Each structure stands twice: as C-alpha cells, then as structure tokens.
Amino acid sequence: MFSSLNSSILPPKTPHFLESNSIPRLFSCFKTSFSTNPCPETSPKPISSNLGNFSGVTLEDAVELNAKKLRVDAWICSKISGISRARVQSSIKSGLVSVNGRQIDKSSYMVRSGDKVNCTIAEMQQLKAEPEEMPLDIVYEDAHLLVIHKPAHLVVHPAPGNATGTLVNGILHHCSLPTVSYTSQDIPSEDDDASDEELNGGVCSGESDASIRPGIVHRLDKGTSGLLVVAKDEHSHAHLAEQFKSHTIKRIYISLTCGIPSPASGRIDVPIGRDSNNRLRMVAVSGSSKSGRTRHAASRYRVIEILAGGGSALVEWKLETGRTHQIRAHAKYLGIPLLGDEVYGGTKGMALALLQPKTMPTVRGKLMEMLSKLERPCLHALTLGFQHPHTGENMNFSQLPPEDFAAVLTQLREFSKEKVHR
C-alpha cells in the first residue's frame, strides 16, 4: 500500500532531526476525580460548596466598581470557591447565566464594572463510556501499556454528545474493562483555554486494585493520525507523564503544506491563544505571552521535500511545547497552512490556487480529484520514543502514514518533487 513512500520521510533508528520532544504533558480522560484547573483567585470568594459538585449553587452579584474588563466565566470562577472553568462554561451553555437581566451563551462575554450577574450552576450530567468492539491498530502491547496507531477521524475521549465510538470505548473493550461512569465536568470544554500541558492527569483507577482503567497520557486531534501511548496502570501513567513534562519523549510529526516555508528549516517561538472570532480555533500572535490570553509556544520544522513545483512541501515538525493545535496554528502563522486543514486556511480553494499554476494542464483533472478527496488536515504523528516505565528500556516506534495521506503524497510527487539538501 505504501510502496510509493520512500524512506526519506522516515527518521533512522536514532532520529536525524530533533533529538528530544515536548508534546502535551498529559491528558487523562474520564477519571472520576478529574477536574480542570480551578480559576485563579482574583477576589474574595464568598460562595463555596461542601458537596463538591456545586449543582444548584446560585450567584447574584455585581461586578466591582472600577473593575477591569473580564470574561464572565473567569469572573464567576473568582466568586465560587473551587469550581472549575469547564463547569461554569457548561452552565453558561445551558442558559443559566444572565448579565443585566439578559441571558448570555458565550463564555467569552466580557463583563464590566457595575454589571449585575445572575448564575445557577447546572446539574452535572452523568455520562458513561461503554466498552465497544472496534478494530484497533495496536503497534505494541504488554502488561503495562499500549502503543496504538490512531486513524484520522477517530476521537480519543468521550464527551457530552459524543460518548460512543471513541478510542477510549475501544480500549475498554480490548482490555476487558467495565463501563466507566463520569460527569460532563470531567471533560474539558472546547471553550476551555487550558493547553495540553496544563490539563490535570493521573491514571483512571477502578473501584478496586483489580480494576484499573486505561489512562490516555497524551492526545491527538480528531483529524490527526499516528502513534499514541496508553498506560494500563498507575505507575506507568505517572512515569510516562513525567517524561512528557521533562521533554524526554521523542515524537516527530510530518505534514503536507500549502506552499513551502521560508527558510526551509527553523524555529517558531510565537505565543498561541484562543481565536476570539472562532472558539474552535487557536491563533499564533506575535508579542508577549504574559497577557493571559496567549501562552508560550515553540515549534521546530524542517522541509524534507518540495512538491508540485513549490506548491506544496513535506515538512517534519518537533514541538517544544504542547499547546492545543500548535502545529496547525504555527503553520498558518508561517503562511503554509496544512493541506486539507479547512479550519486554519488550508482549504481546497487555496490549495488549487497554489498547485494549479505549478502543474501541467494534462494533470489538472488528477489535481481536482485529489483535492476533492481531502477530508482532514494532512498531519501524521510519525515517530514515538520513550523509556519503558517498568523496564527502563528505550522504546522507539515509527508508523507510516495511512492510505489517505500516502495517496496525496504520491500524487504530489508525480507532479514533481525536489529533495532538500543540507
């Protein structure tokens, strides 16, 4: 299937590029005791909940005079001791928050001095992750961990409205584990600005020592394919999480881009924050990351091949930090969004505009057909390396990209290719 993929996209046993890697610290899903980082204290907190779940807690208060503009979810967090921002955001989405008598539905709504805020914390929705039989591409497995090749379009974690068909459901079945009960608070909201590095973790422990639930140590976007490690026990999870934290995990991504970066290799040190115009998208913004709206983010990249006469490139990436959508946001910042990434500008229209002038008229039909089949960003987690949490052995894995990525790469190479010499 992958005969058209030559070895140039694969690193040698000791990667020739980027000796260490920093990917998201960890992300443990559906853990009963999981909680998003509480909001920082900005003022005294007169309200608390002895029950710990906050269901039905009400807040009626006015924003302090002379207060600076602040997001409504952050302001409510500052008034209710110990509550997570994800929980407040869930209440906002449920229509339980109003400002000056008007219901609001956006967590990013900015409150001002003197605004009157009414809030009722929503009941926690009880959710379940049921074991589901599904094909899993298991690259390696032992008593302590799994290494899985995640296909594109597979969601890793269950979430409200998406509690089935996830990788977690498949792992529960594969490991012969029971149904996992959790609440909507256990899954971070898409509006939550927490990065992968800042998400709380820990293995998902069962009701007894004999019932250990799998721990997702890190995550890949739904549209990203590639290697993912899953811990089977608490020690393994903690050990792997520490490796992510200390930046000793080796991970290399490859992507296909719209256009080619200039220079052909480099380091991007540009903070990333949530796009105020689209809460599902991140944006790289030059300047200080100390404002609280953006966070430090650094990536290294290297062009492996120039494709289609410069209309595209095969690019290798290493992350020094683990921000949400980091490669996608930094690629857009460089002006080379990933091919097929409609959210970040790598649209079919942009790809056509770049590729069509670089290709012969006789292959325009193939170009149109190729672009019409793109259904996800061309991004693949190619290489994964870590120290085994129990044996101490250095484990290294590489996995060729799946058929959809390989087919596009093959087609672009047929248009023309040029190796980048160092």
What's the predicted TM-score (pTM) here? 0.69
Q: Can you give the pLDDT at residue 48?
A: 54
Quick one: CA torsion of 2, 319, 194, 255, rounded to 10 degrees?
-30
pLDDT along the chain (422 residues), means of 10: 40 35 28 36 50 78 86 90 80 92 90 94 75 94 94 84 83 79 48 36 31 66 94 85 85 96 96 84 80 82 95 94 91 96 93 87 84 94 96 96 95 81 62
pLDDT of residue 191: 34
- CATH 3.10.290.10 region(s) of the chain? 58-120
Distance CA 170, CA 157 (A): 11
Decide: 22 and 150 in contact? Cβ < 8 Å.
no
Alpha-carbon dihedral 238, 37, 248, 13, rounded to 10 degrees:
90
Domain 7-22+250-419 in this protein, CATH class: alpha beta
197 and 227 in contact (C-beta within 8 Å)? no
Q: Does domain 58-120 have CATH number 2.30.330.10?
A: no
Greatest extent of the chain over all pairs of C-alpha atoms, in Å:
72
The residues assigned a catalytic role are 221
The β-bridge partners of 250 are: 385
Candidates 170, 175, 180, 181; CA nearest to 145 is: 175
Q: Enumerate residues 6+ apart whose C-beta is below 8 A from 268.
A: 284, 297, 298, 299, 300, 301, 330, 333, 334
pLDDT confidence of residue 85: 78
pLDDT of residue 8: 42
Every domain range in the chain assigned CATH 3.30.2350.10:
7-22+250-419
Q: Provide the pLDDT for residue 319.
A: 87
